Each structure stands twice: as structure tokens, then as C-alpha cells.
Amino acid sequence: MKALQYTRIGSHPEVVEIATPSPGPGQVLLKVTAAGVCHSDEYVMGLSEEEYTAAGYPLPLTLGHEGAGIVAEIGEGVEHVAVGDAVAVYGPWGCGRCHNCAQGKENYCTNAAAEGIKPPGLGAPGSMAEYMIVDSARHLVPLGDLDPVENVSLTDAGLTPYHAIKTSLPKLRAGSTAVVIGTGGLGHVAIQILRAVSAATVIALDITEEKLALAAEVGAHHTVLSDADAAAKIRELTGGRGADAVFDFVGAEPTIATAVAAAATDADVTIVGIGGGTAHVGFGTIAFDAAVRIPYWGSRSELVEVLDLARTGQVGVEVQRYTLDQGAEAYEALAAGTVRGRAVIVP
Ligand code: NAD
Ligand code: ZN
Ligand code: ZN
């Protein structure tokens, strides 16, 4: 089968021919219907050899941690999943036994590192291939009638912001303000989730007019260019109060500085982006009682909830389609900042 792999440090991903895997006991083989292109892959492929090895990533690495497919074959002992089922892959695989996994929060599994359990596309072979192995039926969620290409990115670009926003919901009462920094793959879905689940006024920040136009189209009340004046503009738009929740989908030094400076008293500053920045907070440098959070992905039940938001038409992903052979092009477009919404590979 064809697979899009990262084969050498510093190289572009390439399409290679590899053996089609077969499912072992407890495993499920999917015929992949869609695979989303995330900025985190860009981050992984930007690591130096030392960092890459230290993080435990293998070479070659079949990319793709947003996946959807049709069950093609089931391994021995697999129950409640049948050949032909349309499914989405819950990506943050855990052990299934620890305290966090027992709550469905496999994204915070405390055994994954010790047991070498890694998400597909971020260690285990990912979804950018004609077929993929899912290690357990527990990591599949029924897609039902949802179109796989339109919805595959809800497994990360939907789930990650949903988890981040849900935690801050008590702060997003009527009259509140939420800020979304970076309106790309995750950010443009975050705006829709905020509009669907909260009464907050949504202010979106990005660096180009095109991205801000998409932000307004998907529901942002205000758009602001992300520059050194952005926090002051957010204060202006909120009558001096600042934002009750800021979600930073960039996570670089300047965006974190904006997020911290824009926070109202008692706000949540949530840094989702892995842009290498650090929050500098101490007495007098952030509003009183503001909290800084660093979430990772989301729980299985939250994925079910995000898919339900899509089913009721409240959340949708702006998708740009690529074939597996065009995989490297999709990553180039992402790096160049020219993807509108999410690039999705359709094998
Ligand atoms: P993306 O490239 O689709 O979107 C990023 C957006 O940020 C783009 O629209 C870009 O124009 C904008 N941007 C860049 N610099 C900016 C600035 N200074 N101010 C405002 N906007 C700016 O990326 P994505 O796939 O949506 O991922 C977003 C970030 O979240 C990445 O860092 C990714 O690695 C990270 N991520 C984290 C998690 C997690 O669990 N914590 C999960 C998925 C992705
Ligand atoms: Zn991702
Ligand atoms: Zn666990």
C-alpha cells in the first residue's frame, strides 16, 4: 500500500510503498477514508535529530494523527466493531487502565510513556496511508452519516479546542469575552465551538486579512490583527476589562504575551499552540486570579460530543483536499500559511 512517511530528519515527507498490515489480536484494520494535516506534524518534522530521538519518534514515521476509515478487518477477540463500519480514530491512545484512562482521558494516560504507547502518526503508524492499524476498538468512535473528509479533523482540530473551551465554560457566561489567537485549523473550529456552547463575544486574532475573513465567516464577532497593539485593542473592545478566556493556538512568545496582557481578572489563559513561547507571569504582570493552562488533545467522550456538534450543524471544518501523492504539497501549504481551514488527505 501507499503511505506518506517522514523518512529522514530535515526531509520532506514522501509517498512510499509498504506492506499492508494485518490486525493482530485486539486490533482493527481500517481502510483510510481521510487524514488531516496538523501543524504539530510540522513541529515534529522541524525537530533536530537529537530532539527527535529524545522524543522517541521512529524513522520512518507514517504521518497522520487525524484519521477516519472503514473497518476492513478485525483481529482476534475484537467485539462491538464490524467490517464495513464507518469510524473516526480517537488519537491520544493510552493504556485504558490507569485513573485518567478510566475516565476516558487517555490524553493524560500515566502509563503511556512507560509502556511505549504512542498516538498514530506521532509514533505509531498513522492515517496517511491506504490502510492503518488501530490498536484497540476503544479508540474508534462511530462516524455514522458524517462525511469522513469533512469531519476527520474534528478528531484533533475539533477535539483539542473543544476540550480547552469546555474547561473554561464556567467563565464564559453572558456578557463575557473569549479571544482566539490563530484562526487556522484548530482556531477556525474553536470559534464555532465557542459560538455553539457559550454566550461569549468572540474576538479572533491572526496575521493576515484572509485568515481574519475566515474567522468572521465562521462566527467571530470582532477580528483584530495580531500585532503588538492587539492586547490594547482587546481592552478597548471590552471596555477596559479584558477577556475572560484567551485561547492561544500559536503559542509563540508574542502571542503568549498578548494572551497574558489581554486577560481579565479571574480569566483563563489557555496555551494550545506549541510555538516555543513561555508565559512570563508573576505579581503585577497578569490580572489577579488569572490562570494559565496548557491542555493536550481531549477525552474520548469529548470527541463524541464534538461529532454531535457536527451532526447538528453547529460546527464544520473548512476543508482543502489533497491526494496522498500531493501530501508533501499539503505540508508546504501549511508551512506557507496558505491553507484555509484544514488540509485533508484523501487516499
Ligand atoms: P495552523 O497552521 O492551521 O494555524 C495556525 C494559525 O496561526 C494560522 O492561521 C496562522 O496564520 C496563525 N498565526 C501564526 N502566527 C500568528 C501570530 N503571531 N498571531 C496570530 N496568529 C498567528 O495550525 P493548527 O494545526 O491549527 O495548530 C495550531 C497550533 O496548535 C500548533 O502549534 C499545533 O502544533 C498546536 N496543537 C496543539 C495541540 C495540543 O493538544 N496542545 C493539538 C493540536 C495542535
Ligand atoms: Zn494535531
Ligand atoms: Zn492510561
Centre of ligand 2 to C-alpha 330, Å, is 15
CA-wise closest residue to 164 among 287, 268, 309, 315: 268
Quickly tell me which residue has 490498536 as its cell: 135
Q: Is the pTM of this model over 0.95?
A: yes
CA–CA separation, 298 vs 141, rounded Å?
A: 14
Alpha carbon 193 to its chain's center: 13
Q: Is residue 297 lining ligand 1, measured as CB closer than 6 Å?
A: yes
Mean pLDDT over the full length of the chain: 98
pLDDT digits (tens, 9 = 90+) for 225-280: 999 999 999 999 999 999 999 999 999 999 999 999 999 999 999 999 999 999 99
Burial of 5 (0-12, 13-18, 19+ CB in 10 A): buried
Residue 265: Cβ within 10 Å count = 12
ipTM reported for the complex, 2 dp: 0.99
CB 188 within 8 A of CB 182: no
Rounded Cα distance, 274 and 251, in Å: 5
The protein residue with its alpha carbon nearest to ligand 1, atom 20, reads 206
Neighbours of 289 (CB within 10 A): 10
What is the Å distance from ligand 1's center to 294 Cα?
14
Q: How confident is the model at residue 342 (pLDDT cuts 50, 70, 90)?
A: very high
Domains and CATH numbers, the chain: 2-156+298-346 (3.90.180.10), 159-293 (3.40.50.720)
* pLDDT at residue number 302: 98
Distance 156 CA to ligand 2 centre (A): 5
In this prediction, residue 160 carries a pLDDT of 98
pLDDT value, residue 36: 98
